């Protein structure tokens, strides 16, 4: 049990509240001189009908302090606790050493399932830098929830439906060659689509509509070509997912739900929720300050809102999720509010478990991305360039590094992911190479280098024997700061999950790396007497494990040498 939980139990018993509620009240004082933990007694004033300072004084007299609390003070309406640095270091480091890379995990999600809809690429199109955030953010959230014991289902909801695929087949039938598409992949499909757009007349448009109708009707030739286009695209994007170390459990896209929309529409009709308005079938949401949710065109054709409804019902039936996260840009906020509200109006209480996780836009070195203006940065090119740039840096600083191509890939990809996830997800990201690949400051390479420093110290030192550690050697300022950060890691992970915000972990990584570097420069490790050396080696080993775990939760590798 952590020191915080122990303090919470002690106070809760005397205050007449639950330990969980008490723990939620506890705060870290803004200044070190005010203690390590503070209980604000204002929260009890109404129940106990006393002034907060009087409550604090009464609690101080009634509680029995555990041996790790060296002092307890009343500061106004607060009860402040001062921990023994030696006892705290022993408790924290012993727990991390025993748990290793599982430190910070929990079983809070045991028996619960979370679906995560992210990346969601478009068929017959290349991924650009705008797809970066949804992909790495979704992957990190999946990792965080798995770490907390949840069963996760990662879903790539493919954009694979619409008249454009009739155009693609039409273009291929007129100008395409199978060997060219197999050789050049998505680029060949894009060229065919551009040519169709350039040469389209009424006859070609009619032919394209006819081909899409054949897709809808499961015509064998149309289905074969349509499936082939999807396979080509997924083969192309697999390069990106391999670089990022990302795996999906499902690639069920819009086309998968084409035969599942009818049941949703019928249910809406039965529940008198569907009405005809201005040439379309809609669910009226006026009373909820939202425009109507359009579900069917006048000709009976479904749109993406219809398919998102069908997808939600399919996922609930198939996975029985406790939550379903949609990691999609903030521009789709209204769309998801409408979808969730329609499901609520249909009488399904699990509508509350559908959660849109929005994020900001990505620009590149000051330029807003625009396909029309030619400002496009393709994601595979960005990632490969990151690896190349990292290799250039390694060749300059450590040319004899073993496996340097592998390390360059870890550093390059890590730099991109860390940079993207560093700010709060709702903030826009402007990607700059010199900032992302900087080995100083709050960057991926800086954190990875701190991990390699820990590995280097441990490799050069005698074997670690925690039983010989003299924890009084960890009472100086830089040591206590490091121990505090290590102790906070489980709460950091819990906060990241609760807020759907991996940046909490990213910023923690930067702070931990900076703290260890200060500890490293302030304290001699190898060559001190046995007890001191073993205590500092243990702190180093625990820091290494926590950094590695934290980076993994972000989807970033932790190289042992750089």
Q: Using CA atoms, how far apart are residues 230 and 252, in angstroms rounded to an integer?
A: 11
- Answer yes or no: 247 catalytic: no
Q: Which two tokens stand for residue 316?
A: 């609930």
Kindly tell me the sign of the dihedral angle through the C-alpha atoms of 297, 302, 304, 307.
positive
Q: How many residues does the chain have?
A: 562
| Choice among 4, 43, 125, 451 that is catalytic | 125
Contact 538, 466 (CB under 8 A): yes
Q: What angle do CA 473, 478, 479 make, to 5 degrees?
A: 35
Instruction: Tell which residue, 349, 345, 346, 350, has the closest CA to residue 321.
Output: 350
80 - beta bridge partners? 38, 73
Report CA dihedral (519, 522, 527, 529) to the nearest 10 degrees. -80
| Choice among 4, 43, 128, 167 that is catalytic | 128
- Residue for token pair 């929990």: 106
- Answer yes or no: 131 catalytic: yes
Contact 37, 83 (CB under 8 A): yes
Instruction: Tell which residue, 409, 496, 444, has the closest CA to residue 143.
Output: 496
Kindly tell me the sign of the dihedral angle through the C-alpha atoms of 87, 88, 89, 94.
positive
Instruction: Tell which residue, 116, 111, 117, 118, has the closest CA to residue 150.
Output: 111
Instruction: Tell which residue, 541, 542, 535, has the closest CA to residue 469.
Output: 535
Residues 6 or more apart in contact with residue 509 via CB below 8 angstroms: 418, 447, 547, 550, 551, 554
Q: What angle do CA 507, 377, 429 make, to 5 degrees?
A: 25
Instruction: Tell which residue, 62, 70, 2, has the closest CA to residue 483.
Output: 2
Query: Which long-range contacts link 174-178 to residues 24+ away (Cβ below 8 Å)?
Result: 174/204
Q: What is the DSSP code string of 56-114? A: HHHHHHHPPPPTTEEEEEEETTEEEEEE-HHHHHHHHHHHHHHHGGGTT--STTTT-EE
Instruction: Tell which residue, 420, 443, 440, has the closest CA to residue 430.
Output: 420
- Answer yes or no: 143 catalytic: no
Active centre residues (catalytic) = 125, 128, 131
């Amino acid at each position: 049990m952590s020191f915080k939980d122990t303090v919470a139990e002690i106070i809760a018993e005397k205050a007449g509240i639950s330990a969980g509620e008490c723990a939620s009240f506890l705060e870290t004082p803004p200044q070190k001189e005010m203690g390590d933990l503070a209980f604000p007694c204002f929260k009890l004033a109404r129940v106990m009908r006393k002034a907060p300072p009087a409550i604090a004084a009464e609690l101080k007299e009634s509680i029995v302090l555990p041996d790790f609390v060296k002092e307890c003070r009343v500061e106004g309406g607060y009860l402040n606790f001062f921990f023994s640095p030696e006892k705290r270091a022993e408790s924290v480091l012993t727990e991390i050493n025993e748990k290793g890379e599982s430190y910070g995990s929990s079983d809070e999600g045991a028996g619960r399932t979370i679906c995560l809809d992210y990346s969601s690429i478009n068929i017959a199109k290349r991924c650009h830098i705008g797809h970066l955030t949804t992909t790495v953010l979704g992957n990190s959230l999946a990792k965080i929830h798995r770490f907390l014991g949840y069963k996760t289902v990662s879903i790539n909801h493919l954009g694979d439906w619409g008249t454009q695929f009739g155009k693609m087949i039409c273009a291929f039938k007129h100008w395409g060659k199978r060997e060219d598409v197999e050789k050049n992949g998505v680029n060949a499909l894009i060229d065919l689509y551009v040519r169709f757009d350039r040469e389209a007349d009424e006859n070609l448009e009619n032919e394209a509509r006819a081909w899409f109708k054949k897709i809808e009707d499961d015509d064998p030739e149309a289905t074969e070509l349509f499936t082939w286009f999807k396979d080509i695209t997924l083969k192309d994007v697999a390069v990106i997912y391999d670089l990022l170390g990302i795996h999906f459990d499902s690639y069920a896209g819009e086309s998968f739900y084409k035969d599942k929309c009818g049941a949703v529409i019928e249910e809406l009709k039965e529940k008198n929720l569907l009405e005809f308005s201005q040439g379309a079938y809609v669910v009226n949401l006026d009373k909820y300050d939202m425009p109507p949710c359009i579900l069917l065109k006048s000709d009976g054709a479904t749109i993406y809102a219809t398919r998102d409804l069908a997808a939600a019902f399919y996922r609930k039936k198939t996975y029985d999720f406790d939550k379903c996260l949609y990691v999609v840009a903030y521009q789709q906020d209204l769309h998801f509010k409408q979808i969730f509200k329609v499901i609520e109006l249909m009488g399904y209480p699990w509508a509350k478990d559908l959660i849109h996780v929005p994020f900001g836009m990505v620009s590149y070195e000051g330029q807003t991305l625009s396909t029309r203006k030619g400002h496009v940065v393709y994601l595979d090119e960005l990632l490969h360039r990151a690896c190349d740039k990292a290799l250039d840096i390694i060749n300059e600083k450590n040319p004899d590094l073993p496996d340097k191509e592998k390390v360059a890939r870890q550093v390059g990809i890590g730099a991109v992911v860390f940079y993207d996830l560093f700010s709060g997800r709702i903030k826009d990201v402007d990607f700059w190479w010199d900032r992302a690949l900087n080995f100083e400051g709050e960057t991926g390479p800086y954190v990875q280098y701190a991990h390699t420093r820990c590995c280097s110290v441990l490799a050069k030192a005698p074997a670690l024997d925690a039983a010989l550690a003299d924890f009084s050697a960890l009472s100086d300022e830089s040591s206590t700061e490091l121990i505090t950060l290590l102790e906070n890691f489980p709460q950091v992970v819990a906060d990241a999950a609760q807020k759907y915000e991996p940046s909490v972990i990213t910023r923690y990584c930067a702070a931990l790396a900076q703290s260890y570097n200060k500890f490293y420069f302030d304290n001699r490790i190898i060559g001190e007497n046995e007890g001191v050396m073993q205590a500092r080696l243990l702190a180093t080993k625990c820091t290494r494990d926590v950094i590695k775990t934290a980076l993994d939760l972000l989807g970033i590798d932790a190289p042992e040498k750089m």
